[in-house]
Amino acid sequence: MSFASLEGKRALVTGASKGIGRAIAEELARGGAEVVVGYRTGTEEAEALAGEIGGRAVQADVSSAEEAARLVEEAGDLDILVNNAGLTRDGLLARMSDDDWRTVLETNLSSVFYTCRAVCRPMMKKRAGSIVNVSSIVGIHGNWGQTNYGASKAGIIGFTKSLARELGSRGVRANVVAPGYVRTQLTDVLPEEATSAMLGNTPLGRLGEPQDVAGAVRFLCSDEASFVTGDVLLVDGGLGM
């Protein structure tokens, strides 16, 4: 059996139609898991991905408690939950609208609460399960113009640590992966000077790739990480040291 094998496990990945979420879904499937591709937009991409990895695509807006619960129910008997859904609406706090604040918090943080609440009882009942919530280096160090995003990603860390304490006695683990600056559609639009500044502060001297994050998630989902819970794994090229 290969290292970090996920054979016989079923996983749900939210925000999986593109970027980091897509890479996570592909990696978990490569490890042998049956993967449910959760998505809000990008139906064609999600369906195509599900076909490629032999999984299923289920549409849901996880910022809604009802939709998140439906997604978990349709996914079936889960061994793994990866919360990756998220968005940004950047801007200075002095000019930030209530809508930009609420939308980011509901999509990035409340969605994690909704899906974890839906999955925790079944996992506790079978005394097994792995939850991985995707945060960000911004949730640890902050970033100019991202008070809403930073709050949501910091909230994920505190939420997950508390969840790990609640579920540990039932054999369910909860961890966080916090990516640094990863090459996705979100970073592709950054000004060149901003990217150069990031690279200058990153000891490995490069942007991350979605696959870098996916490998870390696969490890945390596997039995090789059976004694790891409540942890925050930085996948940032050393940026957060």
Q: What is the pLDDT of residues 11-43, one digit of tens each?
A: 999 999 999 999 999 999 999 999 999 999 999
Average pLDDT, the chain: 95
Q: Is the pLDDT of residue 117 over 80?
A: yes
What pLDDT, on a 0 to 100 scale, did the predictor assign at position 189?
A: 65
Task: Give the whole-angstrom CA distance, residue 174 versus residue 221.
Answer: 9
For residue range 199-212, what is the model confidence (pLDDT) as tens digits? 888 999 999 999 99
The pTM for the full model equals: 0.96
Q: Which CATH architecture has domain 10-235?
A: 3-Layer(aba) Sandwich (3.40)
For residue range 49-107, what is the model confidence (pLDDT) as tens digits? 999 999 999 999 999 999 999 999 999 999 999 999 999 999 999 999 999 999 999 99
What pLDDT, on a 0 to 100 scale, did the predictor assign at position 199?
A: 87
Is the torsion defined by CA of 90, 94, 100, 106 positive or negative? positive
For residue range 122-139, what is the model confidence (pLDDT) as tens digits? 999 999 999 999 999 999
Which of 87, 80, 78 lies closest to 39 in space, CA to CA?
Answer: 87
For residue range 177-202, what is the model confidence (pLDDT) as tens digits? 999 999 887 666 667 777 788 888 89
Burial (CB count <10 Å: 0-12, 13-18, 19+), residue 156: buried
What pLDDT, on a 0 to 100 scale, did the predictor assign at position 184?
A: 81
For 111, the enclosing helix (H) or strand (E) is: helix 111-126
Residue 31 neighbours by CB under 8 Å, 6+ apart: 2, 4, 5, 6, 7, 218, 221, 222
What pLDDT, on a 0 to 100 scale, did the predictor assign at position 125?
A: 98
By annotation, the residues acting in catalysis are 149
Give the length of the chain. 241
Listed by start position, the domains of the chain span 10-235
What pLDDT, on a 0 to 100 scale, did the predictor assign at position 211?
A: 97
Per-residue pLDDT, averaged over 158-186, amounts to 95
1 pLDDT band (50/70/90 cuts)?
Answer: low
116 pLDDT band (50/70/90 cuts)?
Answer: very high
Print burial letters for 226-235: b (CB count within 10 Å at least 16), e (below 16): eeebbebbbb
For residue range 136-149, what is the model confidence (pLDDT) as tens digits? 999 999 988 999 99
What pLDDT, on a 0 to 100 scale, did the predictor assign at position 192?
A: 79
Six-digit token string for 58: 């289920």
